[in-house]
A and B are shown apart, each in its own frame.
Chain A
Amino acid sequence: MPEHGPRDLMVQAQAVSKHFGALQVLRGINLEVKRGEVMCIIGPSGSGKSTFLRCINHLEKVDGGRLMVDGQMVGYREHGGRVYELKDREVCRRRAEVGMVFQHFNLFPHMTALQNVTVGPVKVKGETRAQAEQRGRELLARVGLADKVDAYPRQLSGGQQQRVAIARALGMQPKLMLFDEPTSALDPELVGDVLQVMRQLAEDGMTMVVVTHEIGFAREVGDSLVFMDGGVVVESGVPREVLANPSQERTKAFLSRIL
Chain B
Amino acid sequence: MNQEPPAGRGARQAPLPAGAPRVVPVRHPGRWVAAAVLALLGVMLVHSLFFSHVDIGGVRRERFEWSVIDHYLFNPAVMQGVRNTILLTVIAMVGGVVIGVLLAVMRLSPNPIVSGFAWVYIWFFRGTPVLVQLLFWFAAGYLFPTFTIGVPFGPALFHIDLNATLTPMVAASIGLSLNEGAYMSEIVRAGIVSVDEGQLEAAQTLGMSRLKAMRLVVLPQAMRVIIPPTGNETISMLKTTSLASVVTVQELTFAVEQIAAANYKTVPLYIDASIWYLVVTTVMMVGQYYLERYYARGSVRQLPPTPWQQIRSGAFLRPGRGRYGRFPGVIGGEWAPVLAGQDEGVL
Complex interface bits, B197-223 against A, C-beta within 8 A gives 1, otherwise 0: 011011111111110100011001100
Q: How many A-B residue pairs lie within 8 Å, measured between CB atoms?
A: 75
Q: Is the CB of A92 within 8 A of B207?
A: yes
Q: State in angstroms the CA–CA spacing of A176 and B199 once bound together.
A: 21
Majority DSSP secondary structure for residues of B touching A: helix
Tell me if B75 is interfacial: C-beta within 8 Å of chain A: no
Q: Is the CB of A89 within 8 A of B216?
A: no
Q: Which residues of A contact B201 (CB under 8 A)?
A: 59, 102, 106
Tell me if A153 is interfacial: C-beta within 8 Å of chain B: yes
Count the B residues whose beta carbon is within 8 Å of the partner chain — how many? 24
Q: Is the CB of A109 within 8 A of B205?
A: no
Q: Is the CB of A100 within 8 A of B207?
A: no
Residues of A1-28 at the interface with B, using a CB-CB cut-off of 8 Å, are: none
Q: Is the CB of B198 within 8 A of A154?
A: no
Count the A residues whose beta carbon is within 8 Å of the partner chain — how many? 33
Q: Is the CB of B209 within 8 A of A92?
A: yes
* Interface-central residue, B204, B205, B208, B209, by most chain A CB under 10 Å: B205
Tell me if A104 is interfacial: C-beta within 8 Å of chain B: yes
> Could you say which of B196, B204, B209, B297 contacts A110, with CB atoms under 8 Å apart?
B297
Q: Is the CB of B298 within 8 A of A88?
A: no
Tell me if A155 is interfacial: C-beta within 8 Å of chain B: yes
Tell me if B248 is interfacial: C-beta within 8 Å of chain A: no
What's the minimum C-beta distance from B4 to chain A, rounded to whole angstroms?
A: 28
> Could you say which of B198, B209, B212, B298 contacts A111, with CB atoms under 8 Å apart?
B298
Q: Is the CB of A106 within 8 A of B199?
A: yes
Tell me if A96 is interfacial: C-beta within 8 Å of chain B: yes
Q: Is the CB of A169 within 8 A of B205?
A: yes
Q: Is the CB of A155 within 8 A of B205?
A: no
What's the minimum C-beta distance from B65 to chain A, rounded to whole angstroms?
A: 52
Tell me if B300 is interfacial: C-beta within 8 Å of chain A: yes
Q: Is the CB of A104 within 8 A of B221?
A: no
Tell me if A76 is interfacial: C-beta within 8 Å of chain B: no
Tell me if A167 is interfacial: C-beta within 8 Å of chain B: no
Q: Which residues of B contact A198 (CB under 8 A)?
A: none
* Interface-central residue, A99, A104, A119, by most chain B CB under 10 Å: A119
Tell me if B83 is interfacial: C-beta within 8 Å of chain A: no
Q: State in angstroms the CA–CA spacing of A110 and B216 once bound together.
A: 10
Q: Is the CB of A92 within 8 A of B298?
A: no
Q: Which residues of B contact A89 (CB under 8 A)?
A: 209
Q: State in angstroms the CA–CA spacing of A155 and B301 once bound together.
A: 6
Q: Which residues of B contact A125 (CB under 8 A)?
A: 207
What's the minimum C-beta distance from B229 to chain A, rounded to whole angstroms?
A: 19
Complex interface bits, A107-130 against B, C-beta within 8 A gives 1, otherwise 0: 111111000000110011100000
Tell me if B299 is interfacial: C-beta within 8 Å of chain A: yes
Q: State in angstroms the CA–CA spacing of A119 and B204 once bound together.
A: 12
Q: Which residues of A contact B204 (CB under 8 A)?
A: 59, 92, 95
Q: Is the CB of B198 within 8 A of A123?
A: no
Residues of B76-109 at the interface with A, using a CB-CB cut-off of 8 Å, are: none
What's the minimum C-beta distance from B298 to chain A, rounded to whole angstroms?
A: 4
Q: State in angstroms the CA–CA spacing of A123 and B207 once bound together.
A: 9
Tell me if A77 is interfacial: C-beta within 8 Å of chain B: no
Q: Is the CB of B298 within 8 A of A154?
A: yes
Q: Which residues of A contact B207 (CB under 8 A)?
A: 92-93, 95-97, 120, 124-125, 172
Q: State in angstroms the CA–CA spacing of A96 and B205 once bound together.
A: 6
Q: Is the CB of B210 within 8 A of A102?
A: no
Q: Is the CB of B199 within 8 A of A102?
A: no
Q: State in angstroms the CA–CA spacing of A172 and B220 once bound together.
A: 22
Tell me if A57 is interfacial: C-beta within 8 Å of chain B: yes
Q: Is the CB of A123 within 8 A of B216?
A: yes
Q: Is the CB of A57 within 8 A of B198?
A: no
Q: State in angstroms the CA–CA spacing of A120 and B203 once bound together.
A: 8
Q: Is the CB of B210 within 8 A of A88?
A: yes
Residues of B161-208 at the interface with A, using a CB-CB cut-off of 8 Å, are: 196, 198-199, 201-208
Q: A92-B208, A106-B201, A107-B202 are in contact. List 6 more A-B contacts (CB 8 A).
A: A100-B205, A106-B199, A124-B212, A168-B206, A172-B206, A172-B207
What residues make up the interface of A, taking CB atoms closer than 8 Å to B?
57, 59, 88-89, 92-93, 95-100, 102, 104, 106-112, 119-120, 123-125, 152-155, 168-169, 172
